[in-house]
Chains A and B, each alone.
Chain A
């Protein structure tokens, strides 16, 4: 249970983890997520499920803070303290016609199951992925296979279009591309920008929100978001919401809620990776 079967840093900071948990593997549907805890005292971090196999599932984890750092420093064979999932509502997978998928950062991985499922429904898939630079692009081959059109944008122009998902999206729409549905996963800023672009064209837009979460079952209320003026919980009502209805400004504020706690935690936890501590003190008889 919860064993890390495989772990690889695909590109700097993005780790692909295969975790053994048959229940999640059996039940997970595209768009759902899991909550992981590396150790008993660890923070609880939500991760999109990217692929499932018999009794394992794959996630792409962005190493960003202490907890993800702890997971990044674990080795295959080690076990996570807890895995809860699958959580959240599965993504809407229907036949729409022309579907646009936008992914950035961990979202490049997270859009992959959606692309696969949407493709299976007979949709025509246009995928746009963004990264800061060419060396941060991953999963390109797999995404190309399930996409009918595939675009890359980098903020430094080192590959594909110089810009972002919205840069390519804007160009495609202006060049006459018509989309019947759009889904975006990535950093909040990107999802907001893309939603703003699709809004005037009335393209139904779904975004997967990455809020702070605790229990993932709708009890704590950490993941509260305002969608269309109503309070929703990202963990049980989402993570997918109508991108045109999300109160983005509020979301950004809520995401910064724990800055001070993070600072203290950063100052007071030992950071040396566990393997090294063992290396230092485990074999001290030399």
Chain B
């Protein structure tokens, strides 16, 4: 029996012990999403129970359905482990006590259960049958929300480092071949075949090579990488080790943005444990393979997700991209051949090695193989982190997994791929989500952020929002990106203010073309995508803004006014009292009215009207603007 087998057996023993122990265990989803929803006070509340009730608390990562956070799972010997969602601190103790002491599983509050091997049956359906989880295929996210990310033994007990152990007995070329055969493509956005990238770098003559894990996830609304790191950091690190072995690298870097403090903490702990377990440093697992990993914190520049900027940043320079070629595979960090892989790409590698390329290639489509994680946010009922085989249709994602549009409004579009991506209208709901198809539709896979848009969203305003983001995040090096995005943003601002002219269409299109064709790096090249796609699919909305001076979604504040519908108004005076500028007048029980010259469009009256008597009316219908 090798050292590694001993490690695994020990880990398995402690894992099994945890799951069979008499003392109840509370698993609390304590990733960033859970913390934001308030899991820490929940944990505190449960801790207070300890005085009277023996129990153990284990902080795990996120299982996915973020809309249900904070989520806790209560493990009770001989009974199913039950997951509870939306647990607030005031009811946490009660929920736990009800189940543990009063034996009441509280099916109304439960979101799913995991039956224990020889425990009693329950009426609560399995957590895996939860509508949000059922349609998923979890490969990368296998352990997320189930294991303690800070406990290396939990990972080891769940097939952890098996792949590394296997790889160390393989030739590096074979490893690369295996990855190539699996069809794995870069999960960071561009979708370049991972095996090929490794092969190119390995082929470089320079013996000093590096691997970088790109954990600089920065798209607004994207959190796949963060969740994975916070839920299962060892999967990513194991992938990094395998990549390092495959290309014979001397060192690996993790470039993680400083805005992910928890992820950084998880990485640090994991690296420490790896070293302790002989998984890092000299002669890993007794083999000839020696490898070091250094964690670098990025200072929060979006552009540092671009590989050449990231390399510059690692070397202590300003995060500014440089023109490729030469590619990092030839001239990367410290001028040496370098592989840069996204967190999710690396996180997938161990599973491929463990189960074989054939197994992995079964998932997905012909050209886009495997699964992909997506963060599902926006106007969707069930938001959170999901993993589906590539090629899954948008309909499955939005309706089966996401449960449809929030408040049953009309599904208008999705914005996929963040600020570099595009807006895909609801009409393409049956299109499969894969690299080729998204590119065909004008969007990109990006890191996998999906923002769902309903009819209350103005796409012009949305495009403007994303442009504002890229304009801000441009590194300022090349002209089309630095000045072009500013001018494009300026044009869009003009349009949402109702000052657009018909000539602006041409200018918008030309400018978008100039930026995408002229820019130096991916950030600039893809920056106009939100504009290009919305211009393609929602041209009528632009026409409405420019020609009719109307915002169909009533979002652009310069184009509509608030009007009180006298017949519906109940004269409750709420709007009058809440209006911060005194624009509302009216006697009690009498219909009120709004002075549009005073109104600052803060939306307070609209959102607070109990009778829904306040309407947004196109300005042009109320005031006749003379030109």
A and B directly contacting (CB within 8 A): no
